[in-house]
Structure 1
Amino acid sequence: GEPCSGGLFDFGLYFFHNVHQLLEIGSGPYFYLPKMESHLEARLWNDAFVMAQDELGIAQGTIKATVLIETILASFELHEILWELKDHSAGLNCGRWDYIFSYIKRFRNHPEFIVPNRDQVTMASPFMDAYSRLVIQTCHKRNVHAMGGMAAFIPIKGDEAANEAAVNKVKNDKIREAKNGHDGTWVAHPGLVQTALDVFNEYMPTPNQITKARTETITAADLIEVPKGTITEEGVRKNINVGILYIESWLRGNGAAAIYNLMEDAATAEISRTQVWQWIQRGAELEDGRKVSYDMVEGFIPSELEKIEAYVGSDAFNNGKFELATELFKKLVATEEFEEFLTLNAYNYI
């Protein structure tokens, strides 16, 4: 055989083996389309959907797909993406963490686009708020659903106060989404589904909010406004720590990992290593005036590995893939030529 697109391969395999049974039980073939940057990609997927339905004698429009808007470029083509998918569109979904990664990545060579500590970039940051509202505005104008983003918090066992704080953060996040006009949302853990349901049942008593039109003007400048904040040693260290933790988990086959009471996926590590790379390349200044350099980052790594060992335990640390994860992280932040995705090279080791 010959190499092919993993996404198209998975779609074809799943559709062929499941479409008839799904229709028999009153469901259907429903898909998420991630990482899209252009309406031309949406056109390609629509062509694939049309061809697959023709090949198996399935009525056109049976397939429904929700596009994750998780790249900065896609936010400039929302109408075009919906148009290309036509009868196969189920709406759009905000993909928060990948969107932040995309923002940093696409503007990485512009010194005026230095992004502060990632903990300071939230859905309340102007560029994130503008993107969320634009997704709602566009979807409702086109009579489709606008899904909110995922709250990454997970229940915290054995610490009632910390758990209550996490639940309240999820609740407040969902209140903001429901009030803005989202038609549904994501959570990272089954234990938080009821929290989200309660909020949406209160603020969205109808099946959706498609009739809620947003009429404000959201400009290109709003979508790319640089978030304000600071870069600190703690921020650099956290990116190193979480970046290595996630890469190690990914190398062991875990694409979603609970890290420090948050459900993380590759986007978290992508933000972490891309920020460190950008800060090094642009000589970004810490709050205390020191410039971020590779030597600084390399100097922080041993103590961060000690923290990681204390966090995961010596057995897991010694039997895991932390040495390889550390080397991969170091290469990613040291290279002058930016790696588009950290997984491209990491695939060679699994």
Structure 2
Amino acid sequence: MLPQAYTVPSRWDGLHVLAIADGARSATRESLKPHFGTPSRELFSVDGSPLDERVLGIRVVSSKVLDEHTVPLTVAQNRFLFNSMGGGFINMRLTAEEASEIVALGANGPIACIGRFGCTMRPEGGRFVCDRHRSVFKPSVDKLSYLWPRILDGLRFFGAGAADVVGITSFTLGMQQMSKFTAQLAPSTYGFLLGDAANSLHFWPGRGLNTGLKSAQSLAVTLLQRWKGRGFRAADFAQHEGTMQQLQYREKSRAWTTMLMPDPDGMPRGIEDRIRDGLTGPFDREALVAEMFQRVKDIKARMGDRMGPLATDEWYLGRIQALDVRTLKVMVESGAWITREIGGDEVVVPTAAPEVPVGLRPGLSLVS
């Protein structure tokens, strides 16, 4: 295991396996592009343009709502995704118009910061400031901001407020198709893409960790089964490459379905269009509350006892009624999670009980 950035050697003498798992923006993968090929975004495009989503990430120090109580709130809509790890992290999907408000103000006006580099803005003196650029997150100080009230609404929905926010950042979500995950780097050296370096996924279905672990398991089993004390052959990794291709299809098709969810007529409809429709009138608060409340109750009923005791219906109704009508309509328009459509059989990864730990296999040189 290498804690520092990996430098591709001029010669691969003595190295049998290079496991590449340095994240979605893998510098190692990029340096070895001639071996792995160039990823394509064509399959994840609409009308010839790659489909991206802009997301605001809001880290909170804590939530006043029990973790299990937030699950129906999250699953009932696709505007906000709440993750309770590390106190809490709320991801907020944006329209292009809302994303245009993600601006950092320096001493002389807007500067490249959170909007371009994804810097984190932290609370300081009643404002949110970038440690690196000393710029201020404009929506939090702009009294005319259209976005900031929507952010506060999302925080309140999950039991937090502006005082609980410890960081704000933004990022773009999109997907690309890898041509292959296994490459022969030299006559006796093979490279393998694992984790996010192999399959960087849209996180809304929440499958990145599962997929990364499966890719590592597949490679580990293959190495255990195929190493015989002499050099590997390309055929030794046919099953592993097949498993990786299956994982790519299964998880990216699942994620793509959430990016272009079907409407009631079965036609794909992007989440940004849904949010934009929700932000425009007319607004029938009574009907919107009723629809959202029924959706939450249905989700509670499906969950049964799997999540432990959930809050009362009255508690959920209070959360819904406290929303601004625009936020409420966005949640209704965005739709509930389509768990049935993205469910189904999972990719089965081979398992094996190792006779000898990898580290003790004679003559096998591995770098990850």
User: Shorter-chain-normalised TM-score: which range?
Assistant: under 0.3
Structure with more of its chain in strand, by fraction? 2
Higher relative contact order, chain-length normalized (CA < 8 Å, sep 6+): 2
Larger Rg: 2
Which protein has the bigger helix share? 1
If the length of structure 1 is used for normalisation, what is the TM-score? 0.24
